[in-house]
């Protein structure tokens, strides 16, 4: 019987109980069986490594540690000084500081990491993704010290890391490639000449690039010159390599990638596809497996070409071959990522394979345990990248701060959360603002999406801005539900930018009725003290209220009557029945409105009684931008918490600012 692999919690929310709690997180495997057994269990007779160092941080470090624990491998975590209390540090058997917060002095500090490897006698290193995961020099230095790199060899890393070389290799392996210039573009004049020969529009991109950096689309000569200048500058600053290539821009494409797995014995498999078309600034936001768009023939052709490329470079490990797919299902090689991909969990869910375990086995020299015919598509999985970002600004600009309250929706079925944070964790300017990867699994796409909707509604994040409202809107958008998507989905679906959920008339009435019922419940509770009326002489109990509820720019009259444990609420001349346990101590409230269940979040309540509610993922609020700071090559917006006049500005453009620094004074 095949097993679809997702993990949840052994019970309870992530809290502050340090090591024990951290080890329990995401420890339970949800195995959903179908036609053939896929074992993700560890065989104790299959010896691999005694100790493994994870050269990474955050959720991916935690992810690797979980599999290592299952396999009986001791783990070593590295960390910067600001990450000393991070979750991955608490989970590992050993942890060593490798430097201060800036990545160049810690997680990219090869000398310091090599010293830790020697000190702890780690036999192998898993690089995760990002940082040193695709750095051929790091892999070479490990090999020279007799330490196993959990990934491909340096030849494959170099070949696939260079977009020009990888495109030539793909052509030779008979992989479909995008028409374009195969060499290095020398200057802006040559860029214009090449662009004219290829035909507009064209994509200008960094040869050593990735993550959406160093990429520009040009529709004419002027944009080509401008794109060449900006892309070369960005490529030089991001990758230390300003070489550019130009190729035909595939308008309105889908971004679909194939997961491959290969060993050192010439065996290679394709583990089906992942649909990654929902993107902002060329960075993925929502992924799913499989894709709604591919038919079996196209899937097989893409898989076979991906395997052909892997074999051409003698690839051995887990890797991902990315393709652009047009509306006619023509597909073109984009790049190969020689590492574990961020979105690998959706593949694990539909195949039952633990990709980290497979990487470790391959690195030790074991052959693959499965044949291509064994690889199933069992059910459907969706992943949302939950970021500390303000989705109302360019679909997401980073937010920094401390997680004052944090509760993952692991009480729901078939939910997996890959995270590396907990309540009290800081989202800093130094690292990627990802909070977690939220994954849901279902027997079909509709079930997986419904579970994702519920999971997003039940995800409690306080202290930083987050993109849950955007994620929720994407997965319920009619175009997304129908599978009518492309890499242009976000700007096409929200041409004026994301504004939050637009309430229908029915949803507006539900929200007004819920808010009114919550208000009355709070009023009734405030009259009681330890179960006794504060004013004992009050004999009668009030059972009806005439209220005015402010929503957005409008004020609405609402009549509320209490009937036993429920409320009858009249809005717009229509009566709605509202029931709930009304546990005001919980951040989550499950409310039933005329038979429809909704999960709302009570975010705050001020001294005057005004309550802020998250309903259908969205909270409506206003703020004036007073200052913008740069973090992780992106911009952070600082928002005024109250109305006032700027009294003084204590920073200037280019200054480095830290937590607690005074930037702007208001009066």
Tell me which residues are annotated as active site.
335
Which CA distances in Å does 512 have to 457, 516, 568? 18, 6, 12
Beta-ladder partners of 545: 560
Q: How many residues does the chain have?
A: 667
| Residue 413 burial by Cβ neighbours in a 10 Å radius (0-12, 13-18, 19+) | middle
Q: What 3-state class would DSSP assign to 557?
A: strand
- Residue 619 C-alpha from the chain's centroid: 21
Q: What 3-state class would DSSP assign to 576?
A: strand
660 Cβ contact list (under 8 Å, min separation 6): none
Q: How many Cβ atoms from other residues are within 10 Å of residue 185's Cβ?
A: 24
Q: Which two tokens stand for residue 168?
A: 């030539």
Give the span between the Cα atoms of 667 and 317, in whole angstroms: 59
Give the span between the Cα atoms of 275 and 238, in whole angstroms: 27
Instruction: Answer for the pair 499, 622: CB distance below 8 angstroms, yes or no.
Output: no
With the CA atoms of 85, 90, 93 and 99 taken in that order, what torsion angle do they form, in degrees rounded to the nearest 10?
-20
Beta-ladder partners of 550: 555
Instruction: Answer for the pair 80, 101: CB distance below 8 angstroms, yes or no.
Output: yes
Q: Which residue has the tokens 């290679």?
A: 268
Give the span between the Cα atoms of 173 and 309, in whole angstroms: 6
Q: What 3-state class would DSSP assign to 260?
A: strand
Give the span between the Cα atoms of 200 and 183, in whole angstroms: 18
Q: Which two tokens stand for residue 71?
A: 């396999």
Q: Which residue has the tokens 């201060």?
A: 100
Kind of pairing, strands 148-149 and 124-126?
A: parallel
């Amino acid at each position: 019987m095949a097993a679809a692999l997702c993990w949840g919690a052994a019970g309870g929310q992530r809290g502050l109980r340090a090591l024990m709690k951290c080890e329990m997180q995401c420890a339970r495997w949800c195995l959903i069986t179908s036609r053939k057994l896929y074992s993700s269990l560890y065989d104790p007779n299959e010896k691999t490594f005694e100790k493994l160092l994870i050269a990474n941080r955050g959720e991916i470090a935690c992810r690797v540690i979980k599999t290592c624990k299952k396999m009986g491998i001791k783990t070593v975590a590295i960390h910067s000084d600001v990450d000393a209390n991070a979750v991955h540090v608490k989970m590992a058997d050993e942890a060593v500081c490798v430097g201060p917060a800036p990545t160049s002095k810690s997680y990219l500090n090869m000398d310091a990491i090599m010293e830790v490897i020697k000190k702890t006698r780690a036999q192998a290193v898993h690089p995760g993704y990002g940082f040193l995961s695709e750095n051929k020099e790091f892999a070479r230095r490990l090999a020279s010290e007799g330490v196993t790199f959990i990934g491909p060899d340096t030849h494959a890393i170099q070949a696939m890391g260079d977009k020009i070389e990888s495109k030539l290799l793909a052509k030779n392996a008979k992989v479909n490639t995008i028409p374009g210039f195969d060499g290095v573009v020398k200057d802006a004049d040559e860029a214009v000449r090449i662009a004219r020969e290829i035909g507009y529009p064209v994509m200008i991109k960094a040869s050593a690039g990735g993550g959406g950096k160093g990429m520009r689309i040009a529709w004419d000569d002027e944009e080509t010159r401008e794109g060449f200048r900006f892309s070369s500058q960005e490529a030089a600053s991001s990758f230390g390599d300003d070489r550019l290539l130009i190729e035909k821009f595939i308008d309105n494409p889908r971004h679909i990638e194939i997961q491959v797995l290969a060993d050192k014995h010439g065996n290679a498999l394709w583990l089906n596809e992942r649909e990654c078309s929902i993107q902002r600034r060329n960075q993925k936001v929502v992924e799913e497996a499989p894709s709604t768009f591919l038919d079996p023939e196209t899937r097989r052709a893409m898989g076979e070409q991906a395997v052909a490329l892997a074999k051409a470079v003698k690839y051995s490990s887990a890797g991902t071959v990315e393709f652009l797919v047009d509306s006619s299902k023509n597909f073109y090689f984009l790049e190969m990522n020689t590492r574990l991909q961020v979105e690998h969990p959706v593949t694990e869910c539909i195949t039952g394979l633990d990709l980290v375990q497979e990487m470790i086995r391959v690195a030790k020299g074991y052959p693959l345990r499965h044949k291509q015919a064994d690889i199933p598509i069992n059910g459907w999985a969706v992943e949302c990248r939950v970021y500390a970002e303000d989705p109302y600004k360019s679909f997401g600009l980073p937010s920094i701060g401390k997680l004052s309250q944090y509760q993952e929706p692991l009480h729901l079925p078939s939910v997996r959360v890959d995270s590396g944070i907990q309540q009290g964790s800081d989202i800093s300017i130094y690292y990627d603002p990802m909070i977690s990867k939220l994954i849901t699994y279902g027997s079909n796409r509709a079930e997986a999406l419904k579970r994702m909707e519920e999971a997003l509604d039940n995800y409690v994040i306080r202290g930083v801005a987050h993109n849950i409202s955007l994620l929720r809107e994407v997965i319920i958008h009619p175009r997304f539900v129908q599978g009518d998507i492309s890499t242009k989905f976000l700007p096409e679906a929200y041409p004026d930018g994301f504004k939050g959920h637009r309430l229908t008339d029915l949803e507006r009435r539900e929200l007004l009725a819920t808010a009114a019922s919550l208000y009355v419940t709070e009023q009734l509770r405030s009259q009681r003290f330890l179960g006794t009326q504060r004013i004992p002489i009050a004999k009668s109990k009030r059972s009806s209220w005439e209220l005015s509820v402010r929503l957005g720019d409008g004020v609405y009259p609402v009549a509320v009557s209490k009937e036993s444990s429920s409320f009858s609420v009249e809005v717009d001349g229509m009566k709605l029945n509202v029931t709930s346990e009304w546990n005001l101590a919980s951040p989550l409230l499950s409310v039933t409105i005329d038979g429809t269940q909704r999960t709302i979040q009570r975010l705050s309540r001020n001294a005057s009684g005004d309550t802020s509610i998250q309903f259908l993922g969205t909270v409506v609020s206003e703020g004036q931008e007073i200052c913008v700071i740069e973090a992780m090559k992106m911009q952070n917006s600082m928002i005024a918490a109250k109305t006032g006049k700027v009294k003084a500005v204590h920073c200037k453009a280019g200054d480095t600012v830290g937590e607690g620094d005074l930037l702007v004074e208001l009066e």
